[in-house]
A = this chain, B = another copy of it.
């Protein structure tokens, strides 16, 4: 029963380990490699939203090998939310395909550490927590298609303001797998009614990062009571002339860590994605 109460997510009891010293514009024209290096050397502490817009941004989930098959199956059974783009060998923190030689323990800006369902810390690196029995999953994220919406002329004012996309916990339960269960998360963008078709067409090209919207319109249908109170991301400025459009979201595994009281899981912190060397357009299922 407690496994289904995660719609009130816990707040991390750790604290941010570093001040926000460097502004985002500093890396606005950086390559994914430069951004990973900046994180590795702790020269940048901002999130990745809007950075290296041509490149893939992915969510990162690390679990012990003994539950890795369960987690992988959870992702498959909820593939719109958790499209797995790469799985690292057991014990390896080295990415092979999406960014050769990147280290998953140091090359992100902020992580989350879950123990027994609680987010207990948000450290800048996780190399000190690494062990040989950990398996890493890299999962698609809508940060990868947002630049395609902007360049197609979809009006998303918060992007230019440097704000992040709001994410909500729905009242829909994910399909269970082994020890993993929990609610589904969604991201939301407000879209002008005449542009909804275009938004569906553009995002349909990218099932690797959640594909077409899962819902258009009334947030109440997903059990979302107040759009101005997202689970993560910046609260949106509501626009009565636009329609809320919702996509499956890779925050879902973090909700599963909490709902399932997973003994141990690590992930990226929301909006602190792993920046890959792969162009987003390389993953389009049609041009």
Q: How far is the CA of A286 from the CA of B207 in the complex (A)?
A: 10
> Are B285's CB and A204's CB within 8 A?
yes
CB-based nearest B residue for A88: B73
Q: How far is the CA of A201 from the CA of B205 in the complex (A)?
A: 12
Determine the chain B residues whose CB is within 8 A of the CB of A263 once the complex forms.
Answer: none
A97 at the interface (CB under 8 A from B): yes
Determine the chain B residues whose CB is within 8 A of the CB of A175 once the complex forms.
Answer: 97
CB-based nearest B residue for A287: B204
> Are B97's CB and A87's CB within 8 A?
no
Digit string of A181-218 for contact with B (CB within 8 Å is 1, else 0)?
A: 00000000000000000000100110100011000000
Q: How far is the CA of A141 from the CA of B20 in the complex (A)?
A: 50
Digit string of A71-85 for contact with B (CB within 8 Å is 1, else 0)?
A: 011001100000010
CB-based nearest B residue for A138: B76
> Are B87's CB and A77's CB within 8 A?
yes
CB-based nearest B residue for A206: B285
On whether A204 and B286 interact (CB within 8 A), knowing A69-B68, A135-B69, A178-B89, the answer reads: yes
> What count of chain A residues pass the 8 Å CB interface test?
25
A86 at the interface (CB under 8 A from B): yes
> Are B76's CB and A84's CB within 8 A?
yes
A224 at the interface (CB under 8 A from B): no
Rounded to whole Å, the gap between the CB of A56 and the closest CB of chain B is 15
Rounded to whole Å, the gap between the CB of A287 and the closest CB of chain B is 9
A38 at the interface (CB under 8 A from B): no
A65 at the interface (CB under 8 A from B): yes
Between A68, A76, A84, A90, the greatest number of chain B beta carbons within 10 A of the residue's beta carbon is seen for A76
Between A69, A178, A204, A211, the greatest number of chain B beta carbons within 10 A of the residue's beta carbon is seen for A69
Rounded to whole Å, the gap between the CB of A203 and the closest CB of chain B is 10
Rounded to whole Å, the gap between the CB of A109 and the closest CB of chain B is 26
Q: How far is the CA of A127 from the CA of B178 in the complex (A)?
A: 23
Determine the chain B residues whose CB is within 8 A of the CB of A211 once the complex forms.
Answer: 285
* CB contact between A285 and one of B97, B177, B207 (< 8 Å): that residue: B207
Determine the chain B residues whose CB is within 8 A of the CB of A135 once the complex forms.
Answer: 69
Subset of 26 A-B contacts with CB under 8 Å: A65-B69, A68-B69, A69-B72, A69-B90, A69-B135, A72-B72, A72-B73, A72-B87, A73-B87, A73-B89, A76-B84, A77-B86, A77-B87, A77-B97, A87-B177, A90-B178, A201-B286, A204-B285, A204-B286, A205-B285, A205-B286, A207-B207, A207-B285, A211-B285, A212-B286, A285-B285
Q: 9 closest A-B pairs (Cβ-Cβ)? A: A204-B286, A73-B87, A69-B69, A72-B72, A207-B285, A76-B87, A68-B69, A76-B84, A285-B285
* Other A-B pairs beyond A90-B178, A212-B286, 5, CB < 8 Å: A65-B69, A72-B76, A77-B87, A87-B177, A207-B285
